[in-house]
Every structure is written in structure tokens, then in C-alpha cells.
């Protein structure tokens, strides 16, 4: 039975397409005074919707369901309601699904048929384990209410960086985001220009590999301490590349990303920006609350696209969203649209779409074109040295240097034209759900 009346009740959402199963679970849970069933759903899609409304602490999730399967729903719920711990319910013979479910963000699993003891123990265990996430979210929402003020008076050395935040993004995996982020950051470096490169591809970040850096300390160490950051802590976590570039790397394991909230990343980037002239942010292709937070913060969004049909289609979708978003508004105007992997070689370029057609289709001008050069790009990655550091006067290093200069000019000439953020934060309360019409 319940471990104590002073504790909050654990809010549980039951998700299973079989009505009898839902009812049995509901009856079992009714005996426990510290557990309250706050909702039930028969499909994955319904589960995501209800989870957004009732914000459960624990979700009991079936895998095979019509409409949207349990793994997809787990991923969506884990991203949108970070305080919800998903427990997968499956029959014994589904180890491959279980692995996928854990990668999607599930915290535990139960094997059907489920005994009542196991059910109660698992719910209480995942709830307790999720305590730090609940605390962190509670703190972050208190901060959000303080209307865009810095989280706390950070004990940071006062600096006077221009703080231009440049987010590099592509909805298409492998488009060259990390290649361009590392090279642009490196090309922006000058004696009088301080540059920080942040790897916000939290699950599969590889900036460290691109720059041949190793570090036990990562972005997770700073987001964890977001309320108590001090200069010494930051200095201990940031790495210095041989070129002088400052780098903040992503966590080593994909699952570490689940403990990092989008709000804490936003707050961290904002805080660090004060000490640098340029902050270049590498991102994952996922379009979620974190990317949206970063776009909101960004002064420029370098949108990377390859000249292929799937990449163009995904870019179209992103540009459409940017055009129609009320909050944060003005994302389209921040876009610097870049084509990467463009080949003039008749054979190699076969099947790719000409730049003029892409511009025509997307109604967006291509601001930079980076040539395809497998050998040069791969050699640089293998050596851990940005291309622009070695081959800046030769293609494709030259084009990357040009892109960096274009970015520099665009922010320096329009310093007052674009205000990075309106701190009303109406959107961040409902997050990406609001964007896709879900309940807030």
C-alpha cells in the first residue's frame, strides 16, 4: 500500500487499445491510495493528446496499437511532457521493441500478464527516479514566470561579447549541419572575435569527433547547475580547440539527453552568449521544443539543405512552419538558406536539383552554395581539423569562409533590425504541442 500520506499522489495514464486491459489496470490501481488514474487512452495519438492535457507522472503504455504505436507515442510524450515517465507493457517476446522503446524515452517495462505487486512497485520506482526532473521543471517554470529575466544573478565574470547566436539546422539528417557549424565557427575566429561552438545535438552530438576533442565534462554538467552557474564551473566545462575556438560538447550517451530540459538549454545558451561575440549552435534534425527554443533565441538560423528531393521537401515543411508560426514570430526572416553538397560535375550531380529550381520551389533565395567534396570534407573530419583551418582558399573551404563572412556581415549590419526574442513566452508554456494544434 501507499508509503505515506504526506506524499503527492502519483498521476497515472493508462494506454492500451483493449478496453478490458484498461479496465483491469484501473481496478488494480484503485486499491492504492498513493496512485490516481487520471486518464485512459486507446490509441497512441489519443495518449499524446491526453498526456498533454493531464500531465501524468507515469504512463502505462502498450506497444501495438492502431493509429500511432506505443513507441512513437513514447517518444512524443517523453519530449513534450518531460515529467511523465513511460512504462512499456509488452508480452515477453518483444526484446527488439523494448530496446526501441527505451531509446524512445521509456523508463521501465512490465511484462504481460502483469502482477499487481510488480505494477505498484514499478510505478513507484519510476516516479521516485523521476523526482529530479520534476524538481527541475518546477524550478524552470518559476523562472519562466519571472518574464525573461536571467535565471538568477549568475556569478559570472562580466564580459562584453556581442552575443550573436547562430543556430545551424537541417530537418534532414546528415545534410552537413555539423560540418558547417564547426567550419563556420572556426572561420569566424579572429584575434578580436570570441567564438563558442555548442553541440546541442544532445543525443548524437559529434562535434567532439569533428574537432578531435575529448572531455568528461559536457553540456549536461552546466544545464544541471543552471541556477548556480559560476565562471569557474563554465571554464572547467568548456574546451579549447587548438585554434582557440571554445567548445561545449554534447553528452556521451543518447539517454543522457532525457535529463536535459529544453528550457535549461535555452537559458544556458542565453547565459553563455554574454561572453562571446558569436555562439554557433549545432543541432539535431529533430524538430521539437528544444529546436524551437533555440530558433527563438537565434539571431540567424542557418538552414542547411542538400539538392535532393527528400531534403527539399523537408525544408519546405520547415519554411512553411516558420511562415505560419505566431510564436515565435519572424523565424523566416532569420533564415540564411544554404545548399550543401552541390556538384557541377555532370555525373556526380546527376539526379540532384538545380539551385534555381530549388529557389523557385521554396521561394527562398539560396545565400550560399557549398560544393560536394567527399575527400576534402572526410579528410578534415578524420584529422579533427576544420577544413577552413587548412584549405581556406580552396573549394569547399573557400565557400565555408565566405558563408562565415556573410553571417558576420548580416548580423553586424543589422544589429538593431532583428530582435532575437520577445520574452512573453506564451508559446513556451504550451510548446510544440500548440504548434501542431494539440491541447496546451
Ligand X SMILES: Nc1ncnc2c1ncn2[C@@H]1O[C@H](COP(=O)(O)OP(=O)(O)OP(=O)(O)O)[C@@H](O)[C@H]1O
**Binding residues vs Mg ion (CB under 5 A):** 177-178
Which of Mg ion, ligand X, none binds 285 (CB below 5-8 Å, type-dependent)? ligand X
Kindly tell me which residue out of 25, 279, 335, 381 binds ligand X, with binding defined by CB under 6 A. Answer: 381
Least CB distance from residue 176 to ligand X, whole Å? 3
Least CB distance from residue 167 to Mg ion, whole Å? 13
Query: What does residue 240 show for φ and ψ, rounded to 5 degrees?
Result: -115, 120
Nearer residue to ligand X within complex by CB, 121 or 378: 378
Kindly tell me which residue out of 174, 310, 354, 440 binds ligand X, with binding defined by CB under 6 A. Answer: 174
Distance of alpha carbon 59 from alpha carbon 64, whole angstroms: 15
Nearer residue to ligand X within complex by CB, 21 or 179: 179
Stretch that binds ligand X, among 137-145, 214-222, 319-327, 373-381 (CB under 6 A): 373-381
Nearer residue to ligand X within complex by CB, 57 or 399: 399
Q: Is the N-terminal amide bond of 328 cis, ω within 30° of 0?
A: yes
Which of ligand X, Mg ion, none binds 175 (CB below 5-8 Å, type-dependent)? ligand X
Contact between 374 and ligand X by CB under 6 A: the answer reads yes
Contact between 396 and ligand X by CB under 6 A: the answer reads yes
Question: How many other CB atoms are found less than 10 A from the CB of residue 193?
Answer: 15
Q: What angle do CA 137, 329, 417 make, to 5 degrees?
A: 115
Kindly tell me which residue out of 201, 218, 261, 352 binds ligand X, with binding defined by CB under 6 A. Answer: 201
Which is nearest to 430 in space by CA: 14, 48, 52, 29? 52
Nearer residue to ligand X within complex by CB, 175 or 401: 175
Which helix (H) or strand (E) element contains residue 234? helix 231-237
Contact between 173 and ligand X by CB under 6 A: the answer reads yes
Least CB distance from residue 315 to Mg ion, whole Å? 16
| Those residues with Cβ within 8 angstroms of residue 424's Cβ, 6 or more apart along the chain or in another chain | 147, 327
Q: What angle do CA 409, 412, 416 make, to 5 degrees?
A: 135
CB 212 within 8 A of CB 383: yes
Stretch that binds ligand X, among 1-9, 89-97, 121-129, 177-185 (CB under 6 A): 177-185
DSSP secondary structure, 122-180, as one string: HHHHHHHHTHHHHHHHHHHHHHHHTTT--SS--B--------EEEEEE-SSTTSSHHHH
| Those residues with Cβ within 8 angstroms of residue 147's Cβ, 6 or more apart along the chain or in another chain | 423, 424, 425
Please state whether beta strands 246-248 and 239-240 pair in parallel, antiparallel, or not at all (unpaired): antiparallel
Least CB distance from residue 404 to Mg ion, whole Å? 18
Which of ligand X, Mg ion, none binds 15 (CB below 5-8 Å, type-dependent)? none
Contact between 199 and ligand X by CB under 6 A: the answer reads no
Nearer residue to ligand X within complex by CB, 201 or 293: 201
Which of ligand X, Mg ion, none binds 179 (CB below 5-8 Å, type-dependent)? ligand X
Nearer residue to ligand X within complex by CB, 136 or 291: 291
The beta strand positions in 250-315, using DSSP E, are 278-282, 300-305
Which of Mg ion, ligand X, none binds 378 (CB below 5-8 Å, type-dependent)? ligand X
Contact between 368 and ligand X by CB under 6 A: the answer reads no
Contact between 285 and ligand X by CB under 6 A: the answer reads yes
Query: What does residue 58 show for φ and ψ, rounded to 5 degrees?
Result: -135, 140
| Those residues with Cβ within 8 angstroms of residue 157's Cβ, 6 or more apart along the chain or in another chain | 231, 275
Nearer residue to Mg ion within complex by CB, 182 or 271: 182
Nearer residue to ligand X within complex by CB, 130 or 201: 201
Contact between 69 and ligand X by CB under 6 A: the answer reads no
Distance of alpha carbon 5 from alpha carbon 334, whole angstroms: 52
Stretch that binds ligand X, among 61-69, 173-181, 307-315, 322-330 (CB under 6 A): 173-181
Which of Mg ion, ligand X, none binds 314 (CB below 5-8 Å, type-dependent)? none
Q: Tell me the helices (H) and strands (E) count for the chain, helix number first.
A: 19, 13
Which of ligand X, Mg ion, none binds 374 (CB below 5-8 Å, type-dependent)? ligand X
Distance of alpha carbon 397 from alpha carbon 417, whole angstroms: 30
Which is nearest to 166 in space by CA: 143, 184, 141, 139? 184
The residues of the shown chain that bind ligand X, judged by CB under 6 A, are 170, 173-179, 201, 285, 340-341, 370, 372-374, 377-378, 381, 396
Amino acid at each position: 500500500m501507499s508509503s505515506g500520506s504526506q506524499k503527492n499522489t502519483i498521476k497515472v495514464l493508462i494506454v492500451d487499445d483493449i478496453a478490458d486491459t484498461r479496465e483491469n489496470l484501473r481496478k488494480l490501481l484503485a486499491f492504492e491510495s498513493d496512485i490516481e488514474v487520471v486518464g485512459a487512452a486507446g490509441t497512441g495519438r489519443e495518449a499524446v493528446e491526453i498526456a498533454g492535457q493531464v500531465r501524468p507522472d507515469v504512463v502505462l503504455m502498450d506497444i501495438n496499437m492502431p493509429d500511432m504505436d506505443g513507441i512513437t507515442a513514447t517518444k512524443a510524450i517523453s519530449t513534450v511532457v518531460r515529467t511523465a515517465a513511460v512504462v512499456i507493457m509488452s508480452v515477453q517476446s518483444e526484446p527488439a521493441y523494448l530496446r526501441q522503446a527505451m531509446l524512445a524515452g521509456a523508463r521501465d517495462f512490465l511484462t504481460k500478464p502483469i502482477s499487481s505487486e510488480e505494477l505498484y512497485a514499478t510505478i513507484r520506482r519510476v516516479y521516485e527516479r523521476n523526482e529530479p526532473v520534476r524538481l527541475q521543471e518546477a524550478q524552470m517554470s518559476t523562472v519562466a514566470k519571472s518574464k525573461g529575466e536571467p535565471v538568477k544573478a549568475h556569478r559570472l565574470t562580466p564580459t562584453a561579447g556581442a552575443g550573436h547566436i547562430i543556430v545551424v539546422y537541417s530537418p534532414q539528417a546528415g545534410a552537413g549541419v555539423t560540418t558547417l557549424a564547426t567550419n563556420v565557427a572556426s572561420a569566424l575566429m579572429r584575434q578580436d572575435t570570441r567564438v563558442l561552438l555548442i553541440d546541442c545535438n544532445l543525443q548524437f552530438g559529434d562535434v567532439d569527433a569533428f574537432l578531435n576533442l575529448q572531455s568528461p565534462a559536457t553540456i549536461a554538467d552546466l544545464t544541471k547547475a543552471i541556477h548556480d552557474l559560476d565562471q569557474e564551473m563554465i571554464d572547467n566545462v568548456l574546451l579549447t580547440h587548438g585554434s582557440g575556438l571554445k567548445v561545449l560538447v554534447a553528452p556521451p550517451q543518447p539517454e543522457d539527453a532525457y535529463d536535459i530540459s529544453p528550457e535549461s538549454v535555452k537559458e544556458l545558451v542565453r547565459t553563455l552568449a554574454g561572453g562571446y561575440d558569436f555562439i554557433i549552435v549545432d543541432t539535431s534534425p529533430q524538430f521539437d521544443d528544444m529546436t524551437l527554443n533555440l530558433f527563438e533565441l537565434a539571431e540567424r538560423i542557418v538552414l542547411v539543405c542538400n539538392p535532393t528531393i527528400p531534403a527539399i521537401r523537408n525544408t519546405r515543411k520547415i519554411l512553411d512552419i516558420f511562415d505560419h508560426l505566431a510564436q515565435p514570430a519572424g523565424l523566416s526572416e532569420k533564415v540564411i538558406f544554404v545548399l550543401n553538397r552541390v556538384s557541377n560535375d555532370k555525373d556526380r550531380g546527376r539526379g540532384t536539383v538545380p539551385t534555381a529550381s530549388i529557389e523557385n520551389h521554396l521561394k527562398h533565395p539560396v545565400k550560399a552554395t557549398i560544393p560536394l567534396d567527399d575527400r576534402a570534407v572526410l579528410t578534415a573530419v578524420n584529422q579533427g581539423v576544420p577544413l577552413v583551418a587548412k584549405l581556406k582558399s580552396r573549394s569547399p573551404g573557400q565557400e565555408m569562409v565566405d558563408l562565415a563572412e556573410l553571417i558576420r556581415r548580416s548580423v553586424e549590419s543589422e544589429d538593431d533590425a532583428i530582435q532575437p526574442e520577445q520574452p512573453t513566452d506564451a508559446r513556451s508554456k504550451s510548446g510544440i504541442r500548440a504548434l501542431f494544434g494539440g491541447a496546451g
